[in-house]
Amino acid sequence: MKANSVVMCWIILVVLVCVEFEGCVGSKTDEAYVTLLYGDEFLLGVRVLGKSIRNTGSIKDMVVLVSDGVSDYAKTLLRADGWIVEMISLLANPNRVRPKRFWGVYTKLKIFNMTNYHKVVYLDADTIVVKNIDDLFKCGKFCANLKHSERLNSGVMVVEPSETVFNDMMRKIKTTASYTGGDQGFLNSYYPGFPNAHVFEPNLAPEVLSSRSIPEMERLSTLYNADVGLYMLANKWMVDENELRVIHYTLGPLKPWDWWTSWLLKPVDVWQDVREQLEESLPGTGGGQNPKDSFLVKFLFLLPFCALLFCCYHSFTKSQGYFSSLCRNSLCDQVRHLCYRIRSSGPLAYTNIFTSTTNSIHQLLNGDQNKVPGYLGGISVCVCFMVALVSLGLALLIVPRQVMPWTGLLLMYEWTFTIFFILFGGYIRLIYQWGKIVGSRVASSLSHPELSDYESEKRHQRQMLACDVAPWYYGLGMVMLAIAAPSLPCLFGITALFLRLGLMVVGGIILASFMTYASEHLAIRSFLKGFDEHNIARNSNSCFFC
């Protein structure tokens, strides 16, 4: 008897708990969070949004409406994350004049047709919930946030689905003007009185709520749709940060899932924090990773190192004894050279090394001016900048967009440098060959004994200079400046977007001037070296400039 009553008690308790938390028995709630997914590009955004909703303790349904552009893998992953995936067909955009990316945005109107829910809170895939927003389900029949002066933003909306409203919308869709050429413009025209709507008050007493009629429209405060554009203006949230509910990452192409955005916009840190908490719903998807990307990242990270190792090994076996003695000698020479410089010039050593090497080059160059084509310097500078642009562009293309910010940055550097040094190194070697050709031509046309004496003396002089590490100085200088330029804002702790960009530009200008100087000198050196060595078969290692 006693055991029976205990069991009864338990059953009652379980039932009570289940009534308290509707989701417990897996029954559908009559309220849901909804988002839209047109393609796999926004998949990570939806995952993070879902995680952020669950982080705030909400147990409402989460529905993602997916169109046919979404892969089966994405759907499976979203289901594993706890989303209810519903297929929808795209609603054609009736506007002929519209941005290209707006072809399917009218599909958003289909949330008005989700009549199996009493109320839905729609959130764009580029939003994140930072504080519980379940109180939004208390909002009127249509709620949104005013932005862009007197216009509503369709990024966060509360909608009471209704077949009547939806059909009315479908009837008017072709005749209603849209200032954006998209759904947002349509909704602004469809709800012309919206700017006059009252602000939604989440903490109204239940008596007031039950006594009033449900408002047709209500305005949401900025807390429910705080866009990063707002943050960027003042470099802080211009609302109470502790009360912030929804952050909306609407800065044109700067989407939070692209690794570089994190380095430009401070509020993306919040998004990245949630992304790191993503569970491994499917193998290899923990932390918002993508199994395909993870493999690619490892491959991309290792490839340049493998190539470098192979190259060094290759040049090592090619010139074994020669190579080691050369290395030892030139290294010793360099250290001695440096020590001498430092001793002789004290604290200004660094600048002195540069100016003095430059001077000696100039001395050499002066005598050789007639040998070097006048336009070589100019061409080299152009080539250098073009190569820099190409390597930057290629690296951007190669590195997967949705990796973690640090991974993206490191890969970006690795690949920019790799491509730059391969291309520019190739150019320098080409100049060297050119110098050789010109050299042998000159040598065959004039062969004065005294001149060749002078030449050989100078060749000796230049040989000393030839295998110094000047190219390394230049290369390292470029690498260091390239790293320093973008990190200047971080070093100074600057978070304002425009100041950040400004500082980066300053760093970029310094880098560009250094590149101008370095590329010109490297090219002229290599030309002269080729000129002098026109009858020497070259067998030093082929990896590097020198």
Q: Closest separation between CB of residue 22 and ligand NAG, Å?
A: 22
Q: Is 436 in the site for ligand NAG (CB under 6 A)?
A: no
Q: Closest separation between CB of residue 170 and ligand NAG, Å?
A: 7
Q: Whole-angstrom Cα distance, residue 511 to residue 353?
A: 19
Q: Is 521 in the site for ligand NAG (CB under 6 A)?
A: no
Q: CB neighbours of 436 closer than 8 A, spacing ≥ 6?
A: 530, 531, 533, 534
**Closest by Cα among 169, 146, 143, 147 to 157:** 143
| DSSP code string of 49-79 | HHHHHHHTT--SEEEEEE-TTS-HHHHHHHH
Q: Which is nearer to ligand NAG, 27 or 115 (CB)?
A: 115
Query: CB of 217 within 8 A of CB of 188?
Result: no
Sheet of strand 127-129, all strands in order from the earlier edge strand to the far edge:
127-129, 246-248, 226-227
Q: Is 525 in the site for ligand NAG (CB under 6 A)?
A: no
For 534, phi then psi, to 5°, come to -65, -20
Q: Whole-angstrom Cα distance, residue 491 to residue 403?
A: 23
Buried-state track 484-515, b at ≥16 Cβ within 10 A, e below 16: ebbebbeeeeebbbeebeebbeebeeebbebb
**Closest by Cα among 493, 171, 529, 138 to 371:** 529
Q: CB neighbours of 247 closer than 8 A, spacing ≥ 6?
A: 127, 128, 130, 226, 227, 228, 267, 270, 271
Structure tokens at 332: 């010793």
Query: CB of 225 within 8 A of CB of 147?
Result: yes
Q: Closest separation between CB of residue 503 and ligand NAG, Å?
A: 50
Q: Which is nearer to ligand NAG, 110 or 219 (CB)?
A: 110
Q: Which is nearer to ligand NAG, 113 or 407 (CB)?
A: 113
β-strand partners of 217: 142
Structure tokens at 268: 């993306």
Q: Which is nearer to ligand NAG, 51 or 110 (CB)?
A: 110
Q: Which is nearer to ligand NAG, 88 or 467 (CB)?
A: 88
Q: Closest separation between CB of residue 175 and ligand NAG, Å?
A: 17
Q: Whole-angstrom Cα distance, residue 183 to residue 443?
A: 75
Q: Which is nearer to ligand NAG, 161 or 507 (CB)?
A: 161
The single residue among 52, 58, 113, 526 that binds ligand NAG, judged by CB under 6 A, is: 113
Q: Which is nearer to ligand NAG, 110 or 459 (CB)?
A: 110
Q: Closest separation between CB of residue 156 and ligand NAG, Å?
A: 22
Stretch of residues binding ligand NAG (CB under 6 A), selected from 108-116, 176-184, 226-234, 352-360: 108-116
Q: Which is nearer to ligand NAG, 113 or 222 (CB)?
A: 113
Binding mask 472-511 for ligand NAG (x = CB under 6 A): ----------------------------------------
Stretch of residues binding ligand NAG (CB under 6 A), selected from 109-117, 131-139, 335-343, 355-363: 109-117
Q: Which is nearer to ligand NAG, 117 or 415 (CB)?
A: 117
**What size, in residues, is the chain?**
546
DSSP state of 251: B
Q: Closest separation between CB of residue 157 and ligand NAG, Å?
A: 18
CB atoms closer than 10 angstroms to residue 378: 12
Buried-state track 532-544, b at ≥16 Cβ within 10 A, e below 16: bbbeeeeebbebb
Q: Which is nearer to ligand NAG, 115 or 324 (CB)?
A: 115
Q: Is 110 in the site for ligand NAG (CB under 6 A)?
A: yes
Q: Is 108 in the site for ligand NAG (CB under 6 A)?
A: no
Q: Which is nearer to ligand NAG, 113 or 290 (CB)?
A: 113
Provide, for the chain, the percentages of residues in helix, strand and coil under a 3-state DSSP scheme, each rounded to the nearest 5: 60, 10, 30
Q: Closest separation between CB of residue 66 and ligand NAG, Å?
A: 14
Residue closest to ligand NAG when measured from CB atoms: 113
Stretch of residues binding ligand NAG (CB under 6 A), selected from 59-67, 110-118, 276-284, 390-398: 110-118
Q: Closest separation between CB of residue 78 and ligand NAG, Å?
A: 20
Query: CB of 21 within 8 A of CB of 59?
Result: yes
Q: Which is nearer to ligand NAG, 37 or 478 (CB)?
A: 37
Q: Closest separation between CB of residue 215 and ligand NAG, Å?
A: 25
Contacts with ligand NAG by CB under 6 A: the residue count is: 3
Q: Which is nearer to ligand NAG, 110 or 275 (CB)?
A: 110
Q: Closest separation between CB of residue 61 and ligand NAG, Å?
A: 16
Q: Closest separation between CB of residue 70 and ligand NAG, Å?
A: 17
Hey, is 467 helix, strand or coil? coil
Q: Is 462 in the site for ligand NAG (CB under 6 A)?
A: no
State the DSSP H helix or E strand holding residue 387, giving kind and residue range, or none if neither: helix 376-398
Stretch of residues binding ligand NAG (CB under 6 A), selected from 107-115, 147-155, 430-438, 499-507: 107-115
For β-strands 127-129 and 217-220, DSSP reports them as unpaired
Residues lying near ligand NAG in the complex (CB under 6 A) are found at 110, 113, 115
